[in-house]
Chain A
């Protein structure tokens, strides 16, 4: 492929106090009676993804990770805060954003137009964004198909003729057809079987290396995070609770929520010795976020401070951020 757009310095992707609140009470009467309620989906997130880095965003359903992706893509406008893609906001980028920043969605087949062939949907993406000269479009289509290990005869197929894994590879191909420098992958493997999942994951790892992609990898699957990412940010109720390099974070989580996540996932080894932590209750609704530390009602180590005082995200050791009054390393 041609030379890639690599920024000289600074983060490839940055969010500053990024916040998105959705209106919960749409009914005017009930708004007057009981006041307006907001769903605090994303609440003041500061994030930096450096060029050629893979940052994994981990969290359970409803923690706001997909909303964050949509904000970065400019599909939603933030309530407060800013998104910078290569130093500019999505609005400032306008139509130049798409060739820079692409996304791979969870449901591969659902994000492919069922009425046109794979070839024509790739061709369209390349032509509309003027990625290559018109006479080289066909070549470019073959090239991206090859990149994702699909043979050129997949051009004439329709989305319904593909298996789940193939559909996901076409979605990746379409994203890469624009030669982006940043790729957002939103749960790209969670709808797939184990054997297929490994293949997509290996493909993403390989392409990230070969094309020097910056990647925001969004998932709830901790196993895949360990394999693919350089850094990890853990989200809970719209906020980042812990952030750090993958190896350090997996070796010693500082936030009790991160520890509980690790301790909840089964390991495919019957002889592995480990501690299991069962969290109380369920994630509270993002409409009524608990006072103080949002995690305190479920936290096994909570103290009275946690009920009243919100723990700001602080840098405990270089690169290791945690939002907890009593981080596990100090216990």
Chain B
């Protein structure tokens, strides 16, 4: 299996007037060919910043401070805009949480998909339109030839998300990064989109980096999972180990805090709230909320250690 994406010791900070927000702090992760990798974490843990860093789309005043991002062996951080344009949307594409803010409201959805196809393939407008209609049809959009001319505001949330998926897979990418693609949708629509991602992204052999706060979804689709907390990866394991023998106290608490509809059980609470990213404690950032904390956690920052095969944890006390 070849490596599609490798992020090495990446740090991305936001420089505000008086403070520095350390959104992503020395994070390493990789995605192999054909693999589905989950990235879990609560809001503000830096997971979306990581996604936009990989795409080199990190908004001002954020910037990548250090580290490498290798996409199929090619370094992206110092890449020219020209090369990036060739990769983005073509070999590497992104599905966002909120499709309405990423679709152009003044252009019909068909034309927007055609633009992506024509930017990366030597095809004329007629062929691009033909492909677009086929794509819309395969994504379960009724009356695709008619819908081609629809504007984003004429479509429901689920339909807009389908359009975004159509754009993302239009050039048969090597890697799709999906950033909370189902979060704002209703339960039954979320299920439709999830099945579509399974079929059209995973089923077609693209690698997938699925970013979400909803661990349940990751249980269903992922091969491996990373958890982030306060800008850092705190645990990574293969899916079954992740859910059945989690090691980091944060992951354990998080898993038992999920209200499940298939069982009735008391929910674990995590007291306090995540630390603010501009003022991280010197030791472990989970220290104030942790059950296993000790003296050492306050002083030294725990590094990721491989405790079991492919199961890495950053905690002094496990």
Contacts and interface: CB of A to CB of B under 8 A. Distances in A.
Interface of A: 60-61, 163, 165, 193-199, 201-202, 220-227, 247, 250, 260-272, 274, 276-279, 281-283
B261 interface: yes
Contacts of B257: 194-195, 197-198
B214 A271 contact: no
Contacts of B267: 198, 201-202, 227
B220 A266 contact: yes
Given A60-B187, A197-B257, A201-B267, 6 more contacts: A194-B213, A226-B263, A264-B188, A267-B216, A281-B142, A282-B189
Given A60-B188, A268-B215, A282 B244 contact: no
Contacts of B192: 278-279
Contacts of B253: 195
B290 interface: no
B270 interface: yes
Contacts of A271: 240, 243-244
A278 B259 contact: no
A196 B219 CA distance: 21
Interface in B266-312: 266-271, 273
Given A224-B259, A260-B188, A268-B216, A202 B273 contact: no
Contacts of B190: 264
Contact of A272 (B254, B262, B268, B273): B262
Contacts of A274: 262
Nearest to A257: B188
Contacts of B104: none
Contacts of A279: 188, 191-192
Contacts of B214: 266
29 contacts: A193-B43, A194-B254, A195-B253, A195-B254, A198-B257, A198-B258, A198-B268, A199-B269, A202-B266, A220-B186, A221-B259, A223-B258, A226-B260, A226-B262, A227-B264, A247-B264, A250-B262, A261-B187, A264-B190, A266-B214, A266-B217, A266-B220, A267-B220, A270-B239, A276-B195, A279-B188, A281-B142, A282-B156, A282-B158
B115 interface: no
A172 to B, nearest CB: 15
7 A-B pairs closest in CB distance: A223-B259, A264-B191, A266-B216, A195-B270, A198-B257, A222-B261, A60-B186
B161 to A, nearest CB: 12
A229 to B, nearest CB: 10
B188 A198 contact: no
A220 B239 contact: no
A60 B42 CA distance: 23
B186 A223 contact: no
Bin the interface of chain B by size: 35 or more
B21 interface: no
B260 A193 contact: no
A252 B258 CA distance: 22
Indicate the member of A61, A165, A195 with the most B CB atoms within 10 Å.
A195
Given A199-B270, A266-B219, A226 B186 contact: no
A193 B188 contact: no
Of listed B188, B195, B254, residue having the most chain A CB within 10 A: B188
Interface in B137-192: 142, 156, 158-159, 186-192
Interface string B196-240: 000000000000000001111101100000000000000000011
B27 interface: no
A51 B220 CA distance: 40
Contacts of B268: 198
A202 B267 CA distance: 7
Contacts of B244: 271
B216 A261 contact: no
B236 to A, nearest CB: 15
Contacts of B194: 266
A229 B42 CA distance: 26
Nearest to B215: A268
A128 to B, nearest CB: 32
B149 to A, nearest CB: 20
Interface in B36-78: 42-43
B84 interface: no
B213 A193 contact: yes
A193 B156 CA distance: 25
Nearest to B271: A199
Contacts of A223: 258-261
B250 to A, nearest CB: 9
Contact of B216 (A197, A224, A265): A265
Contacts of A195: 42, 253-254, 257, 269-270
Contacts of A196: 270, 273
Given A226-B259, A268-B216, A220 B187 contact: yes
A138 B269 CA distance: 30
A189 to B, nearest CB: 9
Contacts of A263: 191
B111 interface: no
Contact of B240 (A60, A262, A270): A270
Contact of A61 (B142, B186, B262): B186
B255 interface: yes
Contacts of B159: 282
Given A202-B269, A268-B219, A268-B260, A193 B158 contact: no
B191 A226 contact: no
